[in-house]
């Protein structure tokens, strides 16, 4: 048996010696890997246009990678000495140059280029570089050295076959990389059976009567941007932001300072302005970008909003905070992310410093804005991290000192009425471990269902933390948009959310709507919001209560919308306790029958949770006996009398929020039933307003195997349903809403289902 095994081993070695590529092929393979990897570096450098030192830095990184490969091989050789017999076939059979190049390339591809994707994608990416580089390099090197005539027949076949495989793999990889991605079925659009009249108002996305002027302001010394440097129209003084931002230090921090020409102690106050040509005073709105690549400046990307709003009699400033963003220097230390952290409070604080500058211009003589700014009508807006920063700025504006250091007092107190957040992050800044709270401020958030950066609807969390005092005129709205992504709300960010070479080619871009449509949505939403909150055009509030009233202004896609204001009395918010029977309204109770699931709890998101509670309800075999109800029969008499008086109002409505509890193929319907103290019931289908669409689901990469593990690609998204009591009276004339004693959700229309129900109340 031993001799038989020895003969078998010798035969294997003999075959391997014939088939194993020669020295020239290995040398060519090594140079092939170097070439492919260098091409990736150059492509990355070119994609970072305006990066200054990017190419030089990446060349240094490449050299570092080769040294790292050599050091790694030295370590591997030590291991080989211990387990030599096992590793001979896998390590020592490869020439030293190829081993160093291959290991360095794998490490750098995974750590530098593919750090944001799953392990499968990382392995495939590294394998493509090795295989394509090796095959093409071996073939080209061997042929270019004039060694064809000296090759054996077997090695000639190897050269040809290897070259063909290399070209085929390269072509296939490029084809897959350039392919937009698989199509995704959009959410169904269910407009409802109610006849909804269009708003008798002007389309808010249309230009107004004012001629638009533009200018820029800045420190006047900007090294990178002439519009904020020598070409700035107005000069501002820098500010010290060292208390608000962490990790502008070490080698990455030194490179950041050298690149921009300043550090945290002298941050510039830079802005790009669109303003109406008129006497004013005009409302003022600031908008700030998020954490895009810092050398691909983001602030010009909101020109479409600037032109529109200025033409309609508002001043818009696109604030430059590119120096807070990530850049190539953050990748110098490949074993860690060296970007700035805890900087979102700095972004918000800097917005207030811009407002302080605008107040000085308004009050001073000799500038274009003397007496022309209405400082009692201000909005702060932002995109991505900028959306969170806008909320932080509004919260800071109501405080007397910095939460992170009470010994740092301030007195801002500007007339901020409104906050608008485009696909905002949330939780980047957590004062006292809690999210930012806004009180008596108008709030709007919009978010794309196909967002590949801030994938969870984090604006909904801030929406939940906006509260109102009784009698205030403020409102809040959340709009979730099917087929919209993260980047196209900014004209310079494009379709590839959170993607830079080579990860942008892995994103599924095929089903995303056109940029023009996405920006049309932003123009309608933001312009109507500011018209309502800064210019007292209250008629536009109806758009946010029922988006169908402005459907003619919007692209035809599915929208999931929420709305709330101070005119709402909540019967059940599911926040009061963990008892599934008690409700929010004094004395009200909750009950259910024939349910397969009845459970209160925190609502999940793709990342973390929505920081709000709801009740999850499930049913099988639809019937009239399967229902969930809020009963007011035992409610406090005084509270119930006050509620009854409110329900006598002409516009009184029943409101509640629903979200699909799981992905499914079809929309859900149910019956909404109200009962009065005289035993009269009135019923309307959910489809009277609109069916509940399936839970939105979108995978941002072209194949699930490319994703990181344990990622959720669907989340419950609530939609507010508002049923007028007048419509209930239309189907049951004897029903008296002032005697309301019970609200039922009857699961008699869709055979099976799972929903989340939240915020049941009445509004007038």
All residues at 6 or more sequence positions from 130 whose CB lies less than 8 Å from its CB, including other chains: 33, 102, 105, 106
* Percent of the chain at pLDDT exceeding 70: 93
593 pLDDT above the threshold of 90 = yes
Reported as type and span, the H/E element at residue 355 is: helix 344-363
Tell which wins on pLDDT, 431 or 415: 415
- What's the pLDDT score for residue 35? 87
- CA torsion sign for 66, 68, 71, 77 is negative
- Give me the half-sphere count of Cα atoms (radius 13 Å) on the Cβ side of residue 327: 27
Report the chain's C-alpha Rg in angstroms.
Answer: 31
User: How far, in Å, CA of 528 to CA of 479, rounded?
Assistant: 13
Each residue's pLDDT tens digit, 267-304? 999 999 999 999 999 999 999 999 998 989 999 999 99
Mean pLDDT of 727-732: 96
Closest CA to 383 of 453, 295, 482, 312: 453
* Percent of the chain at pLDDT exceeding 90: 62
- Average model confidence (pLDDT) for the chain? 89
pLDDT band at residue 54, thresholds of 50, 70 and 90?
low
Q: Per DSSP, what are the bridge partners of residue 761?
A: 570, 655
Q: Where in the chain is the domain with CATH 3.40.50.1820?
A: 212-566
Each residue's pLDDT tens digit, 114-151? 777 888 888 888 888 889 888 888 888 888 877 777 77
52 pLDDT above the threshold of 60 = no
- What's the pLDDT score for residue 193? 80
Lowest mean pLDDT among 205-214, 592-601, 603-612: 603-612
Residue with tokens 């992905």: 663
Closest CA to 355 of 339, 341, 369, 338: 369
Each residue's pLDDT tens digit, 673-726? 999 999 999 999 999 999 999 998 898 888 888 887 777 889 999 999 999 999
89 pLDDT above the threshold of 60 = no
CB-based contact 701:117 (threshold 8 Å): yes
Lowest mean pLDDT among 70-79, 116-125, 323-332, 582-591: 70-79
- What's the pLDDT score for residue 108? 79
- What's the pLDDT score for residue 557? 96
Tokens representing 167? 């070209």
- What's the pLDDT score for residue 166? 86
- What's the pLDDT score for residue 672? 98
Mean pLDDT of 617-633: 94
- What's the pLDDT score for residue 619? 96
What CATH class has 569-763?
mainly beta
- What's the pLDDT score for residue 94? 74
Tell which wins on pLDDT, 105 or 201: 201
85 pLDDT above the threshold of 70 = no
Closest CA to 288 of 270, 312, 276, 313: 270
pLDDT band at residue 86, thresholds of 50, 70 and 90?
low
The superfamily CATH assigns to domain 212-566 is Alpha/Beta hydrolase fold, catalytic domain (3.40.50.1820)
Closest CA to 321 of 304, 298, 302: 298
- What's the pLDDT score for residue 656? 97
- What's the pLDDT score for residue 258? 93
Question: Backbone phi, then psi, for 578, in 5-degree steps?
Answer: -105, 5
**Highest mean predicted confidence (pLDDT) among 35-39, 148-152, 313-317, 631-635:** 313-317
- What's the pLDDT score for residue 335? 60
User: How far, in Å, CA of 150 to CA of 180, rounded?
Assistant: 46
84 pLDDT above the threshold of 70 = no
49 pLDDT above the threshold of 60 = no
Lowest mean pLDDT among 194-198, 241-245, 444-448: 194-198
Tell which wins on pLDDT, 252 or 442: 442
- What's the pLDDT score for residue 82? 54
pLDDT band at residue 7, thresholds of 50, 70 and 90?
low
Each residue's pLDDT tens digit, 362-419? 999 999 999 999 999 999 999 999 999 999 999 999 999 999 888 889 999 999 999 9
- What's the pLDDT score for residue 51? 54
- What's the pLDDT score for residue 110? 81
30 pLDDT above the threshold of 90 = no
DSSP 170-212: HHHHHHHHHS-----PPPPP---SS-PPPPSS--TTS--SSPE
Closest CA to 666 of 566, 725, 750, 602: 750
Q: In terms of C-beta distances under 8 Å and separation of at least 24 residues, what long-range contacts does 90-97 make, across chains too?
A: 93/20, 94/26, 95/23, 95/26, 95/27, 95/30, 97/26, 97/27, 97/30
CA triple 678-683-687, angle to 5 deg: 160
CB-based contact 744:628 (threshold 8 Å): yes
93 pLDDT above the threshold of 80 = no
Q: Where in the chain is the domain with CATH 2.60.120.260?
A: 569-763
Tell which wins on pLDDT, 101 or 535: 535
């Amino acid at each position: 048996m031993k001799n038989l095994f020895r003969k078998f081993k010798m035969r294997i070695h003999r075959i391997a010696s014939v088939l194993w590529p020669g020295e020239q092929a290995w040398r060519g393979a090594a140079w092939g890997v170097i070439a492919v990897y260098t091409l990736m570096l150059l492509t990355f450098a070119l994609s970072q246009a305006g990066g200054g030192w990017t190419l030089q830095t990446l060349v240094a990184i490449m050299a570092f990678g080769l040294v790292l490969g050599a050091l790694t091989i030295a370590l591997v050789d030590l291991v080989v000495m211990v387990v030599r017999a096992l590793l001979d076939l896998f390590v020592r059979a490869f020439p030293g140059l190829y081993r160093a190049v291959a290991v360095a390339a794998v490490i750098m591809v995974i750590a530098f280029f593919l750090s944001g994707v799953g392990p499968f994608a990382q392995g495939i990416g590294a394998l493509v570089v090795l295989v394509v580089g090796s095959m093409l390099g071996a073939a080209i090197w061997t042929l270019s050295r004039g060694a064809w005539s000296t090759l054996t027949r077997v090695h000639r076949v190897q050269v040809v076959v290897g070259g063909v495989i290399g070209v085929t793999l390269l072509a296939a990889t490029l084809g897959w990389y350039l392919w937009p991605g698989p199509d995704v079925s959009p959410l169904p659009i269910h407009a409802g059976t109610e006849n909804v009249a269009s708003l008798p108002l002007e389309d808010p996305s249309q230009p107004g009567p004012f001629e638009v002027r533009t200018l820029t302001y800045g420190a006047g010394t900007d090294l990178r941007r002439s519009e904020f440097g020598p070409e700035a129209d107005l000069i501002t003084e820098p500010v010290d932001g060292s208390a608000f931002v962490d990790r502008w230090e070490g080698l990455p921090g030194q490179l950041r300072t050298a690149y921009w020409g300043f550090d945290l102690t002298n941050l510039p106050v830079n802005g790009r302005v669109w303003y109406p040509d008129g006497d004013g005073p005009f409302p003022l709105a600031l908008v700030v970008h998020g954490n895009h690549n810092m050398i691909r400046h983001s602030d010009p990307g909101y020109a479409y909003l600037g032109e529109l709003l200025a033409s309609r009699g508002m001043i818009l400033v696109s604030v430059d905070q590119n120096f807070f963003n990530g850049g190539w220097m953050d990748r110098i230390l490949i074993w860690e992310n060296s970007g700035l952290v805890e900087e979102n409070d700095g972004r918000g604080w800097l917005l207030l410093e811009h407002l302080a500058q605008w107040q000085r211009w308004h009050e001073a003589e000799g500038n274009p804005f003397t007496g022309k700014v209405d400082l009692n009508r201000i909005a702060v807006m932002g995109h991505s991290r900028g959306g969170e920063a806008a909320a932080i700025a509004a919260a800071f504006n109501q405080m007397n000192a910095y939460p992170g250091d009470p010994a740092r007092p301030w007195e801002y107190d500007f007339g901020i009425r409104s906050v608008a957040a485009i696909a905002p992050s949330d939780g980047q800044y957590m004062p006292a471990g809690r999210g930012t709270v806004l009180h008596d401020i108008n709030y709007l958030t919009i978010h794309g269902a196909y967002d590949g950066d801030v994938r969870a609807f984090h604006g909904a969390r801030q929406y939940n933390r906006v509260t109102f005092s009784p009698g205030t005129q403020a409102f809040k709205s959340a709009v979730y948009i099917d087929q919209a992504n993260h980047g196209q709300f900014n004209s310079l960010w494009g379709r590839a959310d959170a993607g830079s070479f080579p990860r942008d080619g892995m994103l599924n871009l095929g089903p995303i709507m056109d940029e023009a449509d996405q920006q049309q949505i932003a123009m309608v939403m933001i312009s109507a919001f500011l018209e309502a909150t800064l210019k007292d055009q209250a008629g536009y509030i109806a758009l946010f209560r029922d988006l169908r009233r402005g459907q003619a202004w919007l692209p035809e896609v599915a929208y999931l919308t929420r709305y709330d204001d101070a005119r709402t009395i909540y019967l059940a918010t599911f926040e009061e306790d963990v008892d599934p029977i008690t409700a929010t309204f004094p004395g009200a109770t909750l009950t259910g029958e024939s349910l397969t699931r009845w459970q209160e709890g925190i609502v999940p998101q793709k990342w973390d949770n929505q920081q709000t509670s709801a009740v999850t309800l499930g049913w099988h075999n639809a019937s009239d006996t399967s229902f969930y109800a809020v009963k007011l029969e035992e409610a406090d008499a005084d509270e119930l009398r006050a509620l009854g008086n409110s329900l006598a109002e002409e516009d009184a409505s029943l409101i509640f929020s629903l979200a699909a509890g799981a992905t499914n193929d079809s929309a859900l319907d149910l019956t909404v039933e109200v009962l009065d103290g005289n035993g009269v019931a009135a019923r309307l289908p959910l489809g009277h307003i609109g069916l509940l669409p399936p839970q939105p689901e979108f995978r941002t990469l072209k194949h699930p195997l490319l994703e990181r593990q344990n990622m959720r690609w669907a989340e419950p998204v609530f939609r507010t349903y508002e049923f007028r009591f007048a419509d209930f009276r239309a189907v049951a004339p004897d029903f008296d809403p002032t005697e309301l004693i019970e609200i039922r959700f009857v699961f008699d229309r869709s055979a099976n289902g799972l929903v989340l129900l939240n915020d049941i109340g009445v509004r007038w």
